[in-house]
Structure 1
Amino acid sequence: MRCWLFCFIIKQAYLFKKETAAVRRKIHYLNYNIFIPYLLLVIMGVILVYSASSDILLQNGFKPSTYGIKQAIYAAVAFFIFGIPFFALKLEVFKNKKFVMYFLLISLAMLAFLVGLKIVKGSSAAVNGAVGWINLGFINLQPLEVAKLSLVLYLAYVLDRRDGKLVKGHIWSNLVHPALMTAIMMALVIVEPDFGGTAILFVIALVMFSVSGIPTSLAIRWLIAIVIAVFAVFFLVIFWNPKFLQTSYQFQRLLSFLHPFELERKGGAQLVNSYYAIHNGGLFGVGLGNSMEKRGYLPEPYTDFILSITAEELGVIGAILIIGLLFYLMWNIMEVGIHATSQFNALVCFGVTTIIFTESLFNIGAVVGLLPITGVTLPFISYGGSSMIVLTCCIALVLNISTNEKIKKEEDETVA
Structure 2
Amino acid sequence: MWRKFQKSKIQYLDYWLLMPYIILCAIGALMVYSASSDLMSINGLKPDAYFTKQLIYIAIGFILLLFTFFLRLSVLRSSKLLMWSTIVVFLALLYLFGLSHFRPSAAVNGATAWIPIGPFTIQPSEFAKLLIVLYLASMLSRKEKDLEEKFWDNVKLFLQPVGLVAAILVLVFLQPDLGGASILGMVTLVMFFGTGIPFKYGAIAISGIAAVVTSALTILGHFNLSNNISSYKLNRLLAFLHPFKLENMGGSQLVNSYYAINNGGWFGLGLGNSIQKRGYLPEPYTDFILSIITEEIGVLGALVILGLLSVMIIRIFMLGIHATKMYHTLICYGVGTIIFVQTFFNVGGLLGILPITGVTLPFISYGGSSMLVLATGLGMVLNISAQEKRLAHQRLH
Q: TM-score, normalised by structure 2?
A: 0.96
Q: Which residue of 1 aligns with 2:84?
A: 102
Instruction: Give the stretch that moved more between structures: 125-134 or 216-225.
Output: 216-225
* Structure 2: gaps of 5 or more residues: none
1:134 and 1:301 map into 2 onto residues whose CA distance is 22
The one-letter amino acid of 1:351's match is G
* RMSD of aligned residue pairs (Cα, Å): 1.6
Q: Which residue of 1 aligns with 2:370?
A: 387
Q: Which residue of 1 aligns with 2:118?
A: 137
SS in 1 for 2:176: coil
Q: Which residue of 1 aligns with 2:102?
A: 120
* Alpha-carbon offset, residue 107 of structure 1: 1.4
Q: Work out which of the residue numbers 55, 73, 91 in structure 1 matches 2:73.
A: 91
Pair 1:253 & 2:236 matched: yes
The answer on whether the counterparts of 1:164 and 1:213 sit within 8 Å (CA) in structure 2 is no
Instruction: Give the stretch that moved more between structures: 151-160 or 404-413.
Output: 404-413
Q: Work out which of the residue numbers 215, 232, 235 in structure 2 matches 1:232.
A: 215
The answer on whether the counterparts of 2:220 and 2:238 sit within 8 Å (CA) in structure 1 is no
Q: Which residue of 1 aligns with 2:61?
A: 78
* Alpha-carbon offset, residue 345 of structure 1: 0.5
Going from structure 1 to structure 2, the CA distance change for 1:144 and 1:285 (only over 3 Å counts) comes to same
Q: Work out which of the residue numbers 180, 204, 220 in structure 2 matches 1:197.
A: 180
Q: Work out which of the residue numbers 266, 272, 297 in structure 2 matches 1:314.
A: 297
SS in 2 for 1:170: helix
The one-letter amino acid of 1:61's match is G
* Alpha-carbon offset, residue 286 of structure 1: 0.5
Q: TM-score, normalised by structure 1?
A: 0.91
* Residue deviations 1:312-352 (CA, integer Å, cap 9, x gap): 00101100110111011001111111111110000000000
SS in 2 for 1:56: helix
Q: Work out which of the residue numbers 360, 381, 384 in structure 2 matches 1:398.
A: 381
* Residue deviations 1:373-408 (CA, integer Å, cap 9, x gap): 110010000001111111100110100111111112
Higher-Rg structure is 1
2:223 and 2:139 map into 1 onto residues whose CA distance is 41
* Alpha-carbon offset, residue 99 of structure 1: 1.8
1:147 and 1:125 map into 2 onto residues whose CA distance is 21
Going from structure 1 to structure 2, the CA distance change for 1:219 and 1:62 (only over 3 Å counts) comes to same
Pair 1:186 & 2:173 matched: no
1:233 and 1:205 map into 2 onto residues whose CA distance is 22
1:301 and 1:410 map into 2 onto residues whose CA distance is 47
Q: Which residue of 1 aligns with 2:273?
A: 290
Q: Which residue of 1 aligns with 2:315?
A: 332
Aligned length: 394
* Alpha-carbon offset, residue 246 of structure 1: 2.8
The one-letter amino acid of 2:229's match is Q
The one-letter amino acid of 1:298's match is L
Aligned 1:1-40 pairs, distance under 5 A: 21-40=4-23
2:381 and 2:75 map into 1 onto residues whose CA distance is 14
* Alpha-carbon offset, residue 168 of structure 1: 3.3
Q: Which residue of 1 aligns with 2:132?
A: 151
SS in 2 for 1:98: helix
SS in 1 for 2:145: coil
* Alpha-carbon offset, residue 309 of structure 1: 0.2
SS in 1 for 2:44: coil
* Alpha-carbon offset, residue 170 of structure 1: 2.1
The answer on whether the counterparts of 2:138 and 2:327 sit within 8 Å (CA) in structure 1 is yes
Pair 1:351 & 2:334 matched: yes
* Alpha-carbon offset, residue 241 of structure 1: 6.0
The one-letter amino acid of 1:132's match is A
Percent identical pairs in the alignment equals: 47
Q: Which residue of 2 aligns with 1:50?
A: 33
1:222 and 1:330 map into 2 onto residues whose CA distance is 24
The answer on whether the counterparts of 1:303 and 1:377 sit within 8 Å (CA) in structure 2 is yes
* Alpha-carbon offset, residue 242 of structure 1: 11
Q: Which residue of 2 aligns with 1:267?
A: 250
* Structure 1: gaps of 5 or more residues: 1-17
1:274 and 1:195 map into 2 onto residues whose CA distance is 21
1:136 and 1:59 map into 2 onto residues whose CA distance is 26
The answer on whether the counterparts of 2:342 and 2:359 sit within 8 Å (CA) in structure 1 is yes
2:17 and 2:219 map into 1 onto residues whose CA distance is 43
SS in 1 for 2:296: helix
Q: Which residue of 2 aligns with 1:3?
A: none
The answer on whether the counterparts of 2:100 and 2:106 sit within 8 Å (CA) in structure 1 is yes
